[in-house]
Amino acid sequence: MTVPPVAPAVVADVLDALPPRLRKRVDASLGRAAEWDVVVEGDSAKAALDEETTLRWGLRGGVLAAADDLVCGCLLAPKCLHRGIAVAAAEVAEGGEPEVVAEPAAEVAEDVEVVEVRADEREAASALWDAVATVLRGGVAGSGAVVRAELLRAVHSARVAGLHRAAAGGLRVAAALAGARAGADSFDREVLTEDLTELLLLCHDLRSGIGDPGELRGTARREYRPAGALRLYGLCTETVVASSGYGGVVTHLATEDGVLWTVQAVLPGGAERVAPAADGPVALGESGLSHRALGRGGLLLSGGTASADRRLGAGQAVRAVAAAGVDWSAPPLTALWERPLSEQVAAAALAARRPDGHRPAGDDLLFLDALVLGPSGSALRVVVQGAELDLIAFGERARQNLRVLGQSPGTRTRFIARLRPDQPGTAVAIAVSGGLALPGDRNGRMDLGLDRIQRSHLPEGTAVPQRPTPHQDRVPAPLRPLANAVHRVAVGGRSAAAFTATDRDVARLTAIGMTATATVLADLSATARDRHRDAFGRVRQDQGDAFPTAWLRAALHVRETTRASARRGWQAVVSTG
């Protein structure tokens, strides 16, 4: 069994107690934790490290919540390597998200004064900025257990100050760094770059007092308000395996007027959480439905509660009764597929740009009445309202299902997919219905991440001529030198940008008229090389903001320019329909 999870502040507290010589050895010794036989007994856990040494955890809610609750029996304790390994190798426990049912909010007067960012919030944001800047200077390669501990200390301070959105972002970065150091397959440098960018921008705005303080702070608890009686129709069940360490399913539902809702079963874990969650009961009343069944069925809900993003809650007054489902081609669901593609894309792109917690359920989904053309590389090429789109999938089962569907060109079918705003003409397929010979219990639809499409389900398709599709890079070609520099810093640290020759790229960008991009690239390169030395020629530790600010400016330039290019690309795709 792995070591118990740990609260963010405990990692820093334990590592701070270690002598410098032992602190340097923590990263190289993390593999020892996999050899420990950890036994959990109620609110405690223990591991016999050898005949004379036992490591004991005192747990609170299954989490190591204080450094003093970790006790080692060796002679060097508490300043021993065993305690350092135990916290550095553990997963970091995130704060819970209790359900709160609130009364309907009163109308807010127009002259209410907006509360500004407090001094303690600015201080916590500055500490988190400094911690992330340290990560940038060292990159993944230089961000070992000590650097992650300082980041987690800043995360704890942000949470105490009420900066819940920043704390969640810091935990994502810390988890990505730990995964990268462990060689996890889930590590993605682009995801890490985006998380670093979002977190630094958030800290910058908090320190500067820019933007809506309420949105910058985020919320600690999801607030559920009365939603009344609802007649819900199941659409599909989507698998969730997040890089932040959560897994499960989300079931999408719709009402008669086309409003979309979700009910979730997502818990700490990975892909192993998906199947139990899909076949587990829906936490709404006592309907007796599993998530898999609800995605094909229906529900009568009374006394319902829901959060601002239309996630249904399970309050004590909620009553739910199973009801009949409806095929996608029958009213009222068929109206979702009758909206013009251009209108769907515009609405989904707008929703995708909203921060988490402000994105209503299903607003980034596309409902596609499609004609299958066939495979296009690893994607499935389809035609929707005259526009050609590529459907991709996450997860091996979903990808296999798309490969099977690609064997039946000419099939007319319907998809539910999620827009990829940064990839014109691309969406992530979630479920499919129509044109397939499916068993009766499937209600005519298949959840691509849960079900398995067989070749026997395919009809005899009509051959459709296929055209080769050139590979489209997500980042526009002229922007690639700057994007590469941004990613190199995230992985290799400041030195990765300092030793990269950029003069030729700057000259080329200037020659083609992209002077703003050239200036940003030159500034990033210059600040990376601007290292002060002491009287003995040794490089001084840089604690200034020049380099992290230059990196943030470059990352934002890449992100916003890429998004603008993608929006134009999507407009070009849908305008052909």
- Decide if 465 is inside a domain: no
Q: Where are the alpha helices (DSSP H) in 50-188?
A: 81-88, 119-142, 145-160, 164-181
**Angstrom distance (rounded) from CA 66 to CA 7:** 8
The reply to whether 287 falls in a domain is yes
Task: Collect all residues with Cβ–Cβ distance below 8 Å to 264 and sequence separation of at least 6.
Answer: 240, 248, 249, 250, 251, 311
Domain-embedded: residue 328? no
Q: Are 316 and 392 in a shared domain?
A: no
In angstroms, the first-to-last Cα distance of the chain is 55
pLDDT at residue number 564: 84
Q: Supply the pLDDT for residue 355.
A: 62
Q: Which domain holds residue 424?
A: 333-457
In this structure, are residues 12 and 66 in contact, taking their beta carbons and an 8 Å threshold? no
Q: Are 445 and 346 part of one and the same domain?
A: yes
Q: How many residues does the chain have?
A: 577
Structural domain contains residue 106: no
229 plus 316 within the same structural domain? yes
Distance, in Å, from the CA atom of 498 to the CA atom of 526, rounded to the nearest integer, reads 8
Residue 265 lies in a domain: yes
- Report how far residue 194's alpha carbon sits from residue 125's, in angstroms, rounded to the nearest whole number: 18
Do the beta carbons of residue 506 and residue 522 sit within 8 Å?
yes
Pair 148, 170 in one domain: yes
234 with 313, same domain: the answer is yes
Candidates 303, 326, 342; CA nearest to 255 is 326
pLDDT value of residue 577: 57
Q: How far apart are the C-alpha atoms of 244 and 266, rounded to whole Å?
A: 12
Assess if residue 137 is contained within a domain. yes
Give the chain's domain count.
5
Which of helix, strand or coil describes residue 229? strand
Nearest to 416 by CA among 381, 355, 364, 454: 364
Helices (H) and strands (E) in the chain, counts: 18, 17
CB under 8 Å to 22, separation ≥6 — which residues? 79, 80, 81, 84
How many CB atoms lie under 10 A from the CB of residue 183? 7
pLDDT number for residue 24:
86
Q: Which of 159, 303, 306, 163 is nearest to 223 (CA)?
A: 306
State the residue for tokens 């299958």: 372
Q: Helix/strand/coil (H, E, C) string of 374-433?
A: EEECCEEEEEECCEEEEEECCCHHHHHHHHHHCCCCCCEEEEEEEECCCCCCEEEEEEEE
Same-domain check for residues 429 and 339: yes
Check residue 212 and report its DSSP letter: -
Cα–Cα nearest to 384, from 199, 240, 126, 576: 576
Domain assignment present for residue 283? The answer is yes
What is the SS3 string spanning 232-281? EEEEEEEEEEECCCEEEEEEEEECCCCCEEEEEEEEECCHHHHHHHHHCE
Burial 354-364 (b: 16+ CB within 10 A, else e): eeeeebbbbbb
End residue of a domain, out of 217, 246, 268: 217
What's the CA gap between 561 and 177, in Å, rounded? 27
Tokens of 215: 């949105």
Residues 418, 352: one domain?
yes
Which pLDDT score is estimated for 430? 95
Alpha carbons within 13 A on the beta-carbon side of 330: 10
The domain that holds 375 is classified in CATH as 2.40.50.140
pLDDT at 110: 37
Helix-helix angle 119-142:164-181, to 10 degrees:
10
User: Coil, helix or strand for 566?
Assistant: helix
Residue (of 134, 232, 230, 211) closest to 165 by Cα position = 211
**Cα separation of 407 and 402, whole Å?**
9
* Domain's final residue, options 169, 199, 217: 217
Beta-bridged to residue 490, according to DSSP, are none
Check whether residue 342 and residue 410 sit in a common domain. Answer: yes
Angstrom distance (rounded) from CA 236 to CA 301: 18
Radius of gyration, CA atoms only, the chain:
26
Task: Tell me whether residue 432 is in a domain.
Answer: yes
CA atoms within 13 A on the CB side of 185: 4
Beta strand pairing call for 100-101 and 426-433: unpaired
User: In the beta sheet, which residues pair with residue 419?
Assistant: 427
Residues 505, 484 within the same domain = yes
Within this chain, do residues 67 and 122 fall inside the same structural domain, yes or no?
no
Last residue of a domain, one of 323, 344, 367: 323
Residues 127 and 175 in one domain: yes
281 and 380 belong to one structural domain: no
Distance CA 155, CA 266 (A): 23
pLDDT tens digit at each of 577 positions of the chain: 578 989 888 999 999 889 988 988 998 888 888 889 999 888 899 999 988 899 999 998 888 999 999 999 998 889 999 999 999 988 887 654 433 333 333 333 333 344 588 899 999 999 999 999 999 999 998 899 899 999 999 999 999 899 999 998 999 899 889 888 877 777 888 889 999 999 999 999 999 888 888 888 887 667 788 888 999 999 999 998 876 667 899 999 999 999 999 999 888 777 888 999 999 999 888 888 999 999 999 999 998 888 888 999 877 788 999 999 999 999 999 999 999 998 898 888 887 776 655 667 788 899 999 999 988 888 999 999 888 899 999 888 999 999 999 888 888 999 999 998 888 889 999 999 988 888 777 778 899 999 999 888 888 655 444 544 444 555 677 888 899 999 999 999 888 877 667 888 899 999 988 999 999 999 998 888 866 655 555 555 566 789 999 999 999 999 988 888 888 888 887 776 5
Query: By 3-state DSSP, what share of the chain in percent is helix, strand and coil, each rounded to 5?
Result: 40, 20, 35
